[in-house]
């Protein structure tokens, strides 16, 4: 896909990828073989009728193509930008064997441009039954939209001052412009969903408060937003950020536009980002745009084992991010004034695969010291107990995630959960799949109950 120039990319938060032109989209759609048994649909977590929407694009029926997508996916403009199609629908494409599968995500993004369908309201049934969706990330937005389409009265509660969850606070503007998210949320609102921000369930209201207000079922989709740390010496030094704080300040609080916006952020000249996922890459590329002279991705395995999208790895390399592999952080060194001076790492070799299926990093006796003045820790997240601690009888896993049955109902009747609060950190599309499943289960529960 075409991109803005490299010089622009390094200096601004403008979206990097420009999307298909009409001619490019038509050319790509014509490559689709229209398989009788479309394996790409099976590779899609929400089962979009990919064959049909691509056929409609080929026939220049763009609004109809978007309509087909929205039968299964309420957030096509988001998914077309950030979902890992290369490991899902595109991986299942017959043409993947040639090394050139259909660019399904790019075509979905193209179709999403024809979004005047957001002005269409569904024919709603009785709105007597009230459902509360708690958390407005991809799982919550999907569940709320699907329940509204089924005729329920849905209220979506968000603790922050803007809805969108990780889509808003976690993913930078250069990958997912906030106006795109706003448009998708407008579509959800237009379905009849009442979105309420600045409401912390567990503090502003408890679930029992909401029951007294007439809510009959609940969907917990609060994500896993509490940062993980390494527990190494020097983590409390000035100049050490969690990726959560760093990206929230930039994305939600617009720190990259300071002083136009009130939230400042300090970026070092030599920045080390610990981790190998998309969050690590987002942090590294954001630091570069904020003026860092050298930015390192420091990862304990090799590039082959990195969980980040290959497209984003390539973008980071093009922008000058330096990758240092087979290193595990051991100590963040103090400069004598309480600030970061350097990072000492243990050198690894790869051993046998672990539970993740990737080769396990095995430490050696060798060390490497990297001069840094800022460290961003992006090694994952865990469940925030704020709401969970206020729900009597709610059973959690050993890691603090909500335990659910095959229908996504928790140990508390009528309380369902899905997305990262159940699985731990995962993809946007997997959270959406959980939201769709929860909507079906909640509808069955309320109808049969």
| Mean pLDDT, residues 298-315 taken together | 96
Q: Are 272 and 283 in contact (CB under 8 A)?
A: no
- Residue 355's SS3 state is coil
SS3 205: strand
Structure tokens at 65: 């193509």
User: Which domains occur in the chain, in start order?
Assistant: 6-118 (1.10.1060.10), 127-225+383-448 (3.50.50.60), 228-381 (3.50.50.60)
pTM (2 decimals)?
0.94
Whether 127 shows a pLDDT value over 60: the answer reads: no
Pull the structure tokens for residue 333: 């060194």
Give yes or no for residue 12 having a pLDDT over 50: yes
- The C-alpha angle with vertex 73 and arms to 306 and 426, in degrees rounded to 5, equals 25
Mean pLDDT of the chain: 94
Name the band, by pLDDT with cuts 50, 70 and 90, for residue 126.
low
Query: What are 188-226's pLDDT values in tens digits?
Result: 999 999 999 999 999 999 999 999 999 999 999 999 989
Closest CA to 351 of 302, 399, 310, 393: 302
Residue 124 pLDDT > 80, yes or no? no
**Percent of the chain residues past pLDDT 70, beyond the cut:** 97
Residue 123 has pLDDT above 70, yes or no: no
pLDDT, position 448? 83
Distance CA 148, CA 230 (A): 42
Q: Please give the average per-residue pLDDT across 127-148, as a whole number.
A: 93
Residue 159 pLDDT more than 80?
Answer: yes
User: Does the structure show a pLDDT above 60 at 122?
Assistant: no
For residue range 264-295, list pLDDT tens digits in order. 999 999 999 999 999 999 999 999 999 999 99
* Partners of residue 369 on adjacent β-strands: 344
| 443 C-beta neighbours (distance < 10 Å), count | 19
What pLDDT digit, counting tens, does each position of 15-53 carry? 999 999 999 999 999 999 999 999 999 999 999 999 999
pLDDT of residue 277: 96
Give 65-108 pLDDT, tens digit per residue.
999 999 999 899 999 999 999 999 999 999 999 999 999 999 99
pLDDT of 385 reads 87
Residues 6+ away with beta carbon under 8 Å from 81? 17, 105, 109, 175, 176, 180
Distance of CA 86 to the CA centre of its chain: 16
Residue 449 pLDDT level (bands cut at 50, 70, 90):
low
Q: Give me the helices (H) in 21-73, please.
A: 22-30, 39-43, 50-58, 62-70
Residue 103 has a pLDDT of 97
CA angle (165, 376, 8) in 5-degree steps: 75
Q: What is the mean pLDDT of residues 385-408?
A: 94
| Predicted pLDDT at 119 | 47
What whole-number distance in Å separates Cα of residue 219 and Cα of residue 443?
12
pLDDT above 90 covers a percentage of the chain that reads 92
pLDDT at residue 386 greater than cutoff 90:
no
| pLDDT at residue 125 is higher than 60 | no
């Amino acid at each position: 896909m075409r991109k803005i120039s490299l010089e622009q990319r390094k200096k601004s938060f403008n979206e990097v990828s420009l999307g298909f032109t009409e001619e490019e989209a038509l050319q790509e759609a014509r490559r689709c073989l229209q398989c009788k048994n479309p394996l790409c649909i099976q590779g899609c977590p929400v089962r979009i009728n990919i064959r049909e929407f691509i056929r409609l694009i080929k026939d220049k029926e763009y609004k109809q193509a978007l309509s087909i997508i929205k039968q299964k996916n309420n957030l096509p403009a988001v998914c077309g930008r950030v979902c890992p199609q290369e490991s899902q629908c595109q991986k299942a494409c017959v043409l993947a064997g040639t090394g050139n599968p259909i660019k399904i995500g790019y075509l979905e993004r193209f179709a999403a441009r024809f979004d005047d369908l957001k002005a269409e309201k569904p024919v709603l049934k009785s709105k007597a039954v009230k459902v509360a969706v708690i958390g407005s990330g991809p799982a919550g937005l999907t569940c709320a939209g699907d329940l509204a389409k089924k005729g329920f009265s849905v209220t979506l509660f968000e603790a922050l001052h803007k809805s969108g969850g990780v889509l808003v606070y976690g993913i930078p503007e250069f990958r997912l412009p906030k106006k795109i998210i706003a448009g998708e949320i407008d579509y959800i609102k237009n379905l009849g969903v009442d979105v309420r921000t600045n409401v912390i369930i567990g503090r502003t209201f408890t679930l029992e408060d909401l029951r007294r207000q007439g809510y009959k079922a609940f969907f917990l989709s609060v994500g896993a937003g509490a940062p993980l740390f390494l527990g190494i010496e020097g983590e409390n030094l000035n100049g050490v950020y969690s990726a959560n704080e760093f990206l929230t300040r930039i994305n939600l609080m617009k720190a990259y536009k300071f002083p136009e916006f009130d939230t400042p952020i300090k970026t070092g000249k030599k920045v080390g980002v610990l981790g190998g996922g998309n969050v690590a890459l987002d942090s590294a590329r954001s630091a570069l745009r904020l003026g860092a002279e050298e930015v390192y991705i420091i990862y304990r395995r090799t590039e082959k084992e990195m969980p980040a999208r290959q497209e984003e790895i390539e973008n980071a390399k093009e922008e000058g991010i330096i990758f240092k592999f087979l290193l595990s952080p051991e100590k963040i060194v103090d400069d004598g004034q309480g600030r970061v001076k350097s990072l000492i790492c243990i050198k690894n070799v790869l051993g046998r695969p672990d539970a993740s299926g990737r080769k396990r990093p095995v430490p050696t006796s060798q060390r490497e010291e990297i001069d840094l003045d800022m460290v961003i820790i992006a090694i994952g997240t865990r469940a925030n107990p704020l709401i969970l601690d206020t729900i009597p009888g709610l059973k959690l896993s050993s890691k603090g995630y909500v335990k659910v049955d095959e229908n996504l109902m928790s140990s508390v009747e009528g309380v369902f959960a899905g997305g990262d609060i159940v699985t731990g950190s995962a993809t946007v599309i997997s959270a959406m799949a959980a939201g769709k499943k929860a909507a079906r289960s909640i509808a069955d529960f309320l109808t049969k109950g």
